[in-house]
Amino acid sequence: MKKVLLFGGIALAIIALIVFSNLTSRNSIVSTYAEVKKGTFEITVSNSGELIAEKSIDILGPSIGQANNQGGNQGGGGRQGGGGPQFGGFGGFNMRAQDLKILDIVPEGTVVKEGDYVAQLDKSSYNNTLKTELDNLETLQTNLQMKILDTAVVLTNLRDDIKNQVYVVEEAAIVMDQSKYEPPATIRKAQMNLNREQRTLEQKKKSYALQVAQALAQIRYQQITLADEDKYVNDLQNFLAKFTITAPAPGMVIYKKDRNGTKRTTGSSVNAWDMAIATLPDLSSMISKIYVNEIEINKVKAGQKADIIVDAFPKKAYAGRVFTIGNIGEQLPNSDAKMFEVQIKVDGSDPALRPSMTTGNKIITKTINDVVFIPTECVQTGADSIPFVYKRNKTRQVVLLGEANDKNVIVEKGLEPGTSIYLVPPEKAENFKLVGANLIPLIKNHK
């Protein structure tokens, strides 16, 4: 009985092994052969990329507009900085442009409403300027008050002096009147004294008028200087208030990238030529930005259809069209060839799409209908570079090839749809008979 069971087990094992071998053989056959197909063939250019918003609002730091030629030395209060670019915007005065450091910024992806806090810039260097200007403003105010008081004292003394001179003239006139009975010499002397005192009175009146005009001019000059300084301080205070950055509109905060692709975040700096801290993208219209190498860029044209896959949603496909093509190639890191920026506009909108998501893109540069094509790996070449395929009927078929994409190649002559061919060279391939030699001249002319 035990022997029967043992032999039965061995028989079952042999049967299972035969079945497994047959299944394996069938899978091998499936994976070894390919079928020649006929239909629509697409020439494509593919590359990975990332999503960006077609439109966005920049969240800007405080901007200093470039000073014009009328900026400096206004009212004697102009400020001229040392070397480097000078910027104005504060009462016509110049101010040296400085890089501004981001002390704090909300996390990327934060949804904000208009007026919400976004970031804080370092204003320590401008705080020192404000302190200096506040001291200057206080000094100018004190100087103006002192000038007004001094002028009041001087003019009061001058008016008293004029009044005293009026009395002197009156006394001289009385002496003149009383001397009419005196000798002619006495009368002449009294007359000369009266004339002298009258001239002195006129001179003092003219001097007073000049002193008044001069004092008013000096006070006016100091008032203008004070007004300029007051405006400068007020503008500077308003400027520093803008170091607390708020959202200009509702949206999602996306960090701004520098030219080298580095995101601006806490610790980064912005300069006077590019004050964008972050952006608020319009998520209703998205762009997939890719780079195409200089060899393939001539195939890409505006308006061509594209298929887009977003890595975050691999089961979801998006359609799009080529939107813009860069005119100048760029040398990207880890790339020897020049690359051209291509933007593909995603059709429709999807609230799930976000900036910086990674995409896979296939631009359809050409569509050819009703052609025969095979997988590229089926094509073999010999020492003479003549392409051929191994057919399942044990022949080597010479083929005239056409255009290709990343997976398949068009066969212009040599194969019929439905023919079974090898994906990889078969065993004893040297025994396969060569057919289609009549195509060799065509292939050489085609080249």
Give the amino acid at 184: P
Alpha carbon distance 422, 415 (integer Å):
13
Strand partners, 104: 120
Cβ-contact 214, 222 below 8 angstroms = no
What DSSP line would sit under 231-274, residue for residue? Answer: HHHHHHHHHHHTTEEE-SSSEE-EE-B-TTSPBP-TT-EEBTTB
First CA to last CA distance, the chain = 76
Three-class SS state of 356: coil
Q: How far is CA 101 from CA 105, 227, 245, in A?
A: 11, 32, 13
The 10s digit of each residue's pLDDT in 256-276 is 888 777 889 999 888 878 888
The 10s digit of each residue's pLDDT in 90-149 is 334 445 567 889 999 999 989 899 999 999 999 887 888 889 899 999 999 999 999 999
Percent of the chain at pLDDT above 70? 85
**What rounded mean pLDDT belongs to the chain?**
84
Strand partners, 134: none
The 10s digit of each residue's pLDDT in 279-325 is 999 888 999 999 999 989 999 999 999 999 999 999 999 999 999 99
Cβ-contact 233, 137 below 8 angstroms = yes
CATH class held by domain 47-55+281-367: mainly beta
Give the amino acid at 215: A
Please compute the mean of the pLDDT values over residues 153-176 and round it to a whole number.
Answer: 91
pLDDT at 25 over 80: no
Cβ-contact 337, 297 below 8 angstroms = no
Alpha carbon distance 339, 49 (integer Å):
13
Confidence at residue 12, expressed as pLDDT on a 0 to 100 scale: 54
Output 337 or 11, whichever has higher pLDDT.
Answer: 337
Confidence at residue 181, expressed as pLDDT on a 0 to 100 scale: 83
Sequence-ordered strand ranges (E) for 32-116: 33-35, 37-53, 56-60, 86-90, 93-96, 100-105, 111-112
The 10s digit of each residue's pLDDT in 51-60 is 999 999 999 9
The Cβ of residue 445 has, within 10 Å, a number of other Cβ atoms equal to 8
> CATH assignment of 56-122+243-280, given 2.40.50.100, 2.40.40.20, 1.10.260.40, 3.40.50.620?
2.40.50.100
* pTM (two decimals): 0.58
What DSSP line would sit under 180-231, residue for residue? Answer: GGS-HHHHHHHHHHHHHHHHHHHHHHHHHHHHHHHHHHHHHHHHHHHHHHHH
The Cβ of residue 240 has, within 10 Å, a number of other Cβ atoms equal to 16
Q: Strand 244-246's sheet: what is its strand order?
A: 244-246, 117-121, 100-105, 269-270
- Give φ, ψ of 291 to 5 degrees: -125, 130
Nearest to 245 by CA among 263, 273, 264, 232: 264
The 10s digit of each residue's pLDDT in 365-381 is 999 999 999 999 999 99
Enumerate the domain spans of the chain: 47-55+281-367, 56-122+243-280, 123-241
